[in-house]
Structure formats: C-alpha cells, structure tokens
Structure 1
C-alpha cells in the first residue's frame, strides 16, 4: 500500500470515527458554539461599560464639567446625585458604584475601592483631568497644550468582536489537546498502535492523517464561528486582514496537538491523560484571554499568560479579525506557535512508546 493510499484511507477512517462519536462532536463543535451564542446574546450589543459615580452634595467642578462637556463625560461615567455620604461609601465598598465624589471647600475628594483597579483608575484619571481643567480656568490663562482623545475602535464596536476570536481559540485549544492526548492513549492501551506499527501503512501517513483531520475540523470550527457571529443578531464585522486567521488557526492547531501528544505519550491511562489535560486546558483558557481581556488582569497573571500558546493565538486573531491590523501583525504569533509545535513534537517523540510494556 502506497503512502498516499494509506494516508487517504486513514484520514477517511478518522473523519468517520469523529462524526460517529457524538461526545467528541458535541464538545468539539456544539459546546464552544453554544458559548458563543450565550456570550454574544448577553454581551454582544454592549460596548465599553461606563463607571457609576455618586456625586455627594454639590461638587462644583463636576457640575461645571457636566455643563461644558456633558456628552463626552457621559461616555465614560454615569453620575447620580446623593446627599447621603455614608450610604454612598457603602455602595462603593460593596461594588455597586465605582466611586463617590464630594467637595469640601477647594478640595475634591474621590472615594474609591481597590477591588476594581481598572474602573477606579479610569474614574480617578477622569476626575483628575476635570480638576486640572478647573484650575486652569480659575487662573484665567489659556492652556498651552490641548489634549484630544480618540477611541481606536469606532462607536459601533461591540463585544462580539472580541468574543468570537477568543472563544474560537479556546475551542481549538480544547479540541487539539484533548483529541491528541486521548487518541494516543486509547490507541496504545487498545493495541492499535502496535497493529499500525506492523501494518504496511507508513507511520508518517498515520500521523499525517491525524494532523490533517485535526486541521480540517479546526477549519470547520472557524467557518461555523464566523457564520454564526456574522448573523444580523450578533453583527460581527471582519477587518480586511481577517484571512490571516487561517494560518493562525493552522499553527495554533499544530501547537495544541503537540501539547496533547506530550501528554498522551507520558500518560499510561486515559484517566491520567484526562486529568493532566484538564490541568493544562482550563488555566490556559482563563490566562490565555478567552473569557476576559488579559490586559485587565494583574501583572503577575499577565506575566504567566505568556507561557500559554492560547494567548498568542487569541492575540493574533484579535489583531487581524477585529482590530484592523495588517497581515504582518500575525507573523510573530504564528512563529511562536510553530516554535511551540516543534518543541512539543520533539518532547513527544522522546516520550513516545508503542505499547505499555
């Protein structure tokens, strides 16, 4: 049997096996797609959230800012008035408000909680700008410099733009790592690897078919995700360089397969392989930025995230699919993912064994 004939035969067998396995079909295709539908339905029409600020009593500089630039201020803050300082502080402490602002003479006091550093930092920065503007106005001198702020995304940018690439990355990582580790352990424990070794089919055809089928399934995931996200209900807009997601997906699949191969080559039982895979995939999903923006995380979490290949896949797809960056922006991520796949493949080769003996 020629290598090409073996490759085609094995590929057909693997595809049929995948389609017949309802569990694999559900967790590889339908389960991640369900998350996209839920996240897109709940958050899809949301844009950048506004910080809730309580104005306690009369805060003159804040009232002046609302009168002079109310429309711009409304984009970042939702201001409510109150006369109860104690109640306002309690709301801030419980997380129901980002800050409470009061004015005592010429002193503007911002009460905030350290629980949400991102939101409180935004509020403090905005209020500091308001106070500085009021100080300049009080001197009667025009400012030398003028600050102009522009949002990099237009006002139509929605959360679906970020959920689609990140949840797709999680789906690809789960399918790649779980699929490779479980397949390798199952084949070894059931003696399939031993029979393949003795069959006329070259080993290169066996692993080539496994990789080809995995890449094909990933392409199907990409098409389904984009088809669902681009429905009018969700409204995903793809940028001009979105097609670079294809080589990103391929390189990501290779990286995740190599990790799964390492786990499958090391583990002696399916239970061990499943446990280790979960210990790898779950932290990678959260620290790779699939469920929340990693840039909003503490510094130590951002530092750890660089260890996981999912971060590079998510970042690359976000750059070309929704941020409008050019094709070249994905090249560093592709190089890193391919490098991980090479290293993982070498480690898996060293750990690989045909049977449990």
Structure 2
C-alpha cells in the first residue's frame, strides 16, 4: 500500500481527483445536476398511483347502482364518481376536460359521453365500461360466469414508478460525466501543452491514462452510491434481482462514454468545442435511449435507431438487474455491446488524435 501511495499513478490520480473536486462546475454537472432530475422525477412520480378515470353519473344509473359487491368495489377503484342531475352541465365538463366521461342510462342502454382529446384514455374508458356492462348482463341471467379473470403484475409488488426512472437517470448521469470529463481533460491538457510536458516526464503514457480512467471510475461509482442512497432514503427505492451487476455495468459504461469524450476531444480544437461536441452526442442519445421516458410508444424506426446507441443498452441492462429482477446473465449482452463500442471508438479517437491543435 505504501509503495502504491508513492507511485506516479497514485500521485497523478490524487492530482486529477483534487482538480475535479476544486472545479465547482464539474462537480455540479457530474453530481448535483443529475440529482436535481432524480429529485424532480422522484417528487412527481415517487408515490404516484394509477390515476382514476373522472366519471360523472348523470341522474339515476341502475346498472351501476345494482352492480354486485365485487364489481362495485372494482368500479370504485377504476372511476372517481361525481353525481350530477344537469346533463348539459356534465357534458360541458367533459368537453372542457374537467371530467373524462359522463354516463347516463336510457332504458336498458348505458350511454357514455367522452372526449376524444385523450384518445388512449377514451379507448380505455370505453373498454372498461363495456366490461362492466357485459358483467351486468351475465349477472342478470342468474347463471354464474363460465370464465373469470385475474391480473397479476410480473414485477415485485413493492415496485414504484421511481424505480423504473432511476436506472435511466443514472445512466444519463454517468454518460454525461464520463464524456464531458474526458473531452474537457484531453482538450484542456492539449491546449495548455500539458500533454507535451507529460510526454517528456519520466511517467509512462499508460500510467497517465490509467490515472485518468481510475478517477473517472471513482466518480461514476460515487454517482451510483449517491443515486441509490438518495433514492432509498427519500423515495423508498428498493433493489431487486442481481442489482450488484450494476457495478460492472457502470464500470464498462463509463469506459464506453469516456471513449466518446475522447473522440470529441480529438475532433475539437478548443475545450469549449470538445464539451459542446460531447453534449451534442450525449444529450440526444439520452432522449433516444429512454433515460427520461420510455420509448414503447415511439415509431418502429425510432426504436430501431435507439438500438444502435450504447446508452440504450446501458439503460436496459441497469433496468434488468436493478428493477426487473433478472439474473447476472441479463447484463452480459449489454456489457459486451458497451465494451465493443468502447474499443471501436477509442481506436477511432486514437487515429484522429493530434498532439497539437492546428
């Protein structure tokens, strides 16, 4: 241990880490800024339950009032019911978006007045009401139903929305920190002629690279620990499955996005240009990789495009092992893709690298 503390690698690592900690902007964008998004999403979604459908019951609706006990309980879990006598006023509320649907009964027919503004919710509402009508028809025959239905979620019952959001936000934070840090470091060292001085110093290139990688990995693991600690303490985040596989995923993901930063630093001629180019690469990738919202409803071509992005596989691997309860094998494919991407981009950055800006 003492030998390590007196080695060039240790001295360089400590110097780089101190430089990072003294740079308030770097600390803010690497740690504080992503945590602001976690707090924002956690505050909005942390305890969010599935919202009920706002339903206005116009006058007497015997079909609803006469539902069996179990069906009545399910109806109350699905709909937030408001009673009204004025049909025109109820329809106006639906038209303005203050309610989702207004129902009335005309003889043996249940009539639902809905707005097409939210087409998905309108379809769900109609399907749900139709199911209750079918159930009432079966009950009216006096015969027990032939079939029954039960719904069971495949994830742990304790999972909340914030647990699905955290891996994506963490992936974006790691990608942003690694890419921006390596881009700014490479270009900053090149502009200040530090690279040339280090080249002449009695320190091997491998030692310099290893020290920079070690500090970047340390920052990434710090982000992982802070995210998980804040999520658990403030929003009830719980980890499932082989969550510890997030550690190698973060390590390989960090190397992957360091490579992207190195490419940005090799292409740009100024520190500002390198950071802007890294931002140009990482920020759209975050939106297209599901860091902020799922892509399930996106067009097929956009989902295929996202499959080409390393952050998509990083987020997917983190989600599998941290939330979906998958085993270690679920992380192997993302690890391979991220490692391959890191190797290819690093070789490309090395090919384009110049010791001096022209």
Shorter-normalised TM-score: what interval? 0.7 to 0.9
* CA-to-aligned-CA distance 1:12-43 (integer Å, 9 cap, x gap): 22111111111111221122223323432343
Deviations 1:296-354 (A, max 9, x none): 55555544433332222222222222222222222222222222222322322222221
Deviation string, structure 1 residues 82-122 (Cα, Å, up to 9, x no partner)? 455565555555554444445555364462435463x4443
> Helix, strand or coil for the counterpart of 2:348?
helix
1:213 matches 2:215: yes
Contact residue 243 and residue 321 of structure 2 kept, 8 A: yes
Verify: 1:202 aligned to 2:184, yes or no: no
Distance of aligned partners of 1:323 and 1:96 in 2 relative to their CA distance in 1, 3 Å threshold: farther
1:202 offset after TM fit, Å?
2.4
Cα distance change of structure 1 residues 299 and 89 upon mapping to structure 2, 3 Å threshold: farther
State the TM-score, normalized to the length of structure 1: 0.84
Contact 1:313 1:333 in 2 (8 A): yes
Partner of 2:116: 113
8 Å CA contact 2:264, 2:275 repeated in 1 = no
In 2, the alpha carbon distance for the partners of 1:299 and 1:99 equals: 32
Q: 1: CA distance between counterparts of 2:65 and 2:355?
A: 75
Secondary structure of 2:296's aligned partner: helix
Partner of 1:17: 19
Listed one character per residue, the Cα deviations across residues 139-162 of structure 1 (whole Å, up to 9, x for unaligned) are 666544322111334554323322
Paired residues in the alignment total 353
Once the two structures are overlaid, the 10-residue window that deviates more, 62-71 or 286-295, is 62-71
Whether contact under 8 Å (1:66, 1:73) holds in the other structure is: no
* Counterpart-to-counterpart distance in 2, 1:156 and 1:69: 25
- Runs of 5+ in structure 2 lacking a partner? none
Q: 153-162 or 165-174, which moves further after superposition? A: 153-162
| Rounded Cα–Cα distance in structure 2 between residues aligned with 1:64 and 1:296 | 38
Q: Distance in 2 between matches of 1:298 and 1:54?
A: 35
Return 7-16 or 71-80, whichever deviates more: 71-80
Q: CA, structure 1 residues 174+106, in 2 after alignment: closer, same or farther (shift >3 Å)?
A: same
Q: Classify the secondary structure of the residue corresponding to 1:279.
A: helix
Q: CA deviation at 1:181?
A: 1.6
Q: Does 1:237 align with 2:230?
A: no
Q: Deviations over 1:156-180 (max 9, x none)?
A: 4323322332222221121112112
Deviation at 1:222, TM superposition (A): 0.9
4+ runs deviating over 6 angstroms: none
Seen in structure 2, the aligned counterparts of structure 1 residues 15 and 131 have a Cα distance that, compared at 3 Å, is same
> What secondary structure is seen at the aligned counterpart in 1 of 2:81?
strand
Matching residue within 170, 173, 187 for 2:172: 170
- Summarize the Cα distance change of 1:205–1:333 in structure 2 as closer, same or farther, 3 Å threshold: same
User: Within 5 Å, which residues of 2 pair with 1:33-48?
Assistant: 33-48=35-50
Is the contact made by 1:193 and 1:355 (CA closer than 8 Å) also made in structure 2?
A: no
RMSD, matched Cα: 3.1
Write the distance in 2 (CA, Å) between the matches of 1:346 and 1:84: 72
Verify the 8 A CA contact 1:100 1:112 in the aligned structure 2: no
Separation (CA, whole Å) in 2 of partners of 1:227 and 1:241: 17
**In 2, Cα distance between equivalents of 1:98 and 1:298:** 27
Could you say if the C-alpha distance between residues 299 and 227 of structure 1 is closer, same or farther in structure 2, counting changes exceeding 3 Å?
same
1-structure distance, mates of 2:125, 2:275 = 45
Question: CA offset at residue 214 of structure 1?
Answer: 0.9
Instruction: For 1:275 and 1:86, locate their aligned partners in 2 and report how far apart those are by CA, in whole Å.
Output: 56
Asked if the contact 2:288/2:306 (under 8 Å) is kept, the reply is yes
Unaligned runs of 5+ in 1: none
